[in-house]
Structure 1
């Protein structure tokens, strides 16, 4: 069997944000199938501090620093009539490395993580091609445009329109196109002009239940010593859906909760918080922590982990992590998408501001029931969402001998 060429828009180490968590586990699983060659971009000094981990797993690799700014990428996108998502990751040296690797190595399969990297698949490559789109990015930009104002509205509408064409072209080129949930797969297929020409599959995210284990983490001291209930929201805090969800809590949910529980505190935990969020730190009941070395103590200290996203694509790792930590979780229907758990049994789902406030107050008023739900959430994640189970179908999808597995979670839609 031949080698694998793995292309990713971000360095898969360290696995400290949603897309990097998925690419990290995919890379490790693929490396167990065959020698692997990795081309990906580094964004930060922290990425390069973990370069030795990439060197340990890869037969060869190429890790250029992504230095192209969004203004330049936008100008190139307009000139070339391409999505900004592609021009931002367009790099001649990486394309040359890909071509050289294919010439010199016995590459059987190219695995593309995220649609931005599909531009590096040579038209002449005759082997297996698997593209993991994760979610339908074009639909996300269309949603931004629907809620936006000029000029951002025009920019997002253009990106969604052109990116949708690129996604369809990639799906036709690939032997399989993967998504993070059955819902994302169904959405994508509903947008295809000729769905019969594309093979798609849902390969859901897993969770490291040994790492996210409440037995191995004590609550953060600030939360443990607080006088009122703690609400915690985690994530990348320069990401628009997360920003919107955080502001939703601060402006629309927390004031109503504090009217009943005056000491309630909302803890916002995650790297790169934008100024809209950092300037709110210190307001009554609001703490903006920014990047922390370990999110688990904040989850462990939460009375309620809240995820009221109004725009969400794929499966929310933040939700699975909180469930694995056996914390009561309150979320919007959008944040619950792709997780086959049950409202009221494993987490609480509420569609509106008033419903979210009502469920939050119920969870605080009936602590024992909330903790029973949290315990059921951990059992669900341990039994149903482990990475080994989630990635069991990967070998077959990539054209290798099927891995021994008892729980194949892939849902195939073949032409």
Structure 2
């Protein structure tokens, strides 16, 4: 096999947030077979400073993504393109891709996230694997359904234009990958595309292990924990709903219960939740495992969720009892080892019951860890990728 070019919308190391976790493990897996060259964006100064892993032996070009949103929106309206693409449209990345392809024998291009597909060359003698991860156009359609006024129009426009782009890319590439069978099936139904398959996310159960060496968080005795990137809209909406509509129902039965929102870059709306009784907003923490280990229950009350939620897999691996919304649980083969609630009352009832019965909560957590050990090792999840990538170069059209 010749070299691989890996295009990523965010530099995939360190693996400290959901999209970077998948990117990191896919990149590491590919580097175990051949030399891989990386072209990626950075939107955190620490990612520009981070050195590459020792196993990344190819070239590495990481470029800063600092385009303001107002400019991306203006370009999208003028150019009749999705904002998701103009936000990531960068001449420096285009030059970096062309330079690497000119100097190296690139056999395969692995595109990680739809935003990076705009950097594919016009003709493709190389094999191309498009890892959409989730169907972004469906996410914007969901946003549109919940929005009003100009925002509704903008989200509907994004959904329509992005789906047309996704369909056009799927027609050009050799394989379109998604993080769950449900997401892959949705893409086939909505676009009519073929050569679509699921490559699920895994979890490192040696790192996420309650017996591993890490510092336990200084948390209240009875604490409900949510983890995630806290400037991400679905996470903001999830914790707001939980703090305002669900936590009061729980505290009516368990007055000592607290809700800890754990994650970097909390938006102002998230910080404001700390004013509510029983709510803690930690901001970024050095090691999320400390808070997971301290959790009486871990919750994932997302009302908008696509694919497999890493936050749920991490909590399961840490042997914590998990209560999730229906959308957050949909992509996970949990085999009944987590509790699932369809509305605020069901989630509140499930959390309250687990807080009241610590033995049942501990047993549920142990069964959840056993399930991820059986089902979600990274080696098992990424094994089908070898066949996808090793298909060889195709003839140019």
How would you bin the TM-score normalised by the shorter chain?
Answer: over 0.9
**What's 1:410 paired with?**
none
Task: Tell me, yes or no, if the aligned pair for 2:5 and 2:36 is still in contact at 8 Å.
Answer: yes
Which SS does the other structure have where 1:296 is aligned? helix
Indicate conservation of the 8 Å contact 2:127/2:391, yes or no: no
- 2:170 paired residue number: 171
| 1:272-308 CA-partner distances (Å, limit 9, x unpaired) | 1111110222432000001111100100000000111
Q: Which residue of 2 aligns with 1:413?
A: none
Q: Residue 59 of structure 1 aligns with which residue? A: 58
Give the aligned partner of residue 188 of structure 2. Answer: 189
Deviations 1:142-183 (A, max 9, x none): 100100122211111111110000100111111000000000
Out of 365, 370, 381, the residue aligned to residue 374 of structure 1 is 365
1:73 aligns with 2:72: yes
Map 1:31-46 to 2 at 5 A: 31-46=31-46
| TM-fit CA distance, 1:221 | 4.5
Supply the RMSD in Å over aligned alpha carbons.
1.4
User: Is 1:349 aligned to 2:348, yes or no?
Assistant: no
Of residues 120-129 and 313-322 in structure 1, the stretch that sits farther from structure 2 once superposed is: 120-129
Does 1:200 find its partner at 2:191?
no
Contact 1:269 1:295 in 2 (8 A): yes
The residue that corresponds to 2:315 in the other structure is: 322
What is the distance in 1 between the residues matched to 2:39 and 2:306?
25
1:119 aligns with 2:142: no
Which residue number in structure 1 is paired with residue 10 of structure 2? 10
Q: CA deviation at 1:400?
A: 5.6
Q: SS at 2:145's partner residue?
A: helix
Q: Secondary structure at the match of 2:285?
A: coil
> Could you say which residue in structure 1 is the equivalent of 2:395?
none
Looking at structure 1, the residues matched to 277 and 356 of structure 2 have their Cα atoms a distance apart, in angstroms, of 22
CA distance in 2, matches of 1:256, 1:295: 26
Structure 2, unmatched stretches of 5+, are 393-397
* Count of residues paired in the alignment: 392
Structure 1's consecutive aligned runs of 4 or more residues displaced over 2 angstroms after TM superposition are 217-222
Contact 1:323 1:381 (8 Å CA) reproduced: yes
Deviations 1:320-375 (A, max 9, x none): 000000000001110002111123xx110110111111111211222211211110
Q: Which deviates more, 250-259 or 149-158?
A: 149-158
Asked if the contact 1:3/1:107 (under 8 Å) is kept, the reply is yes
The alpha-carbon distance between structure 1 residues 214 and 185, as it changes in their structure 2 partners (threshold 3 A), is same
SS for the counterpart of 2:131 is strand
Q: Distance in 2 between matches of 1:356 and 1:5?
A: 44
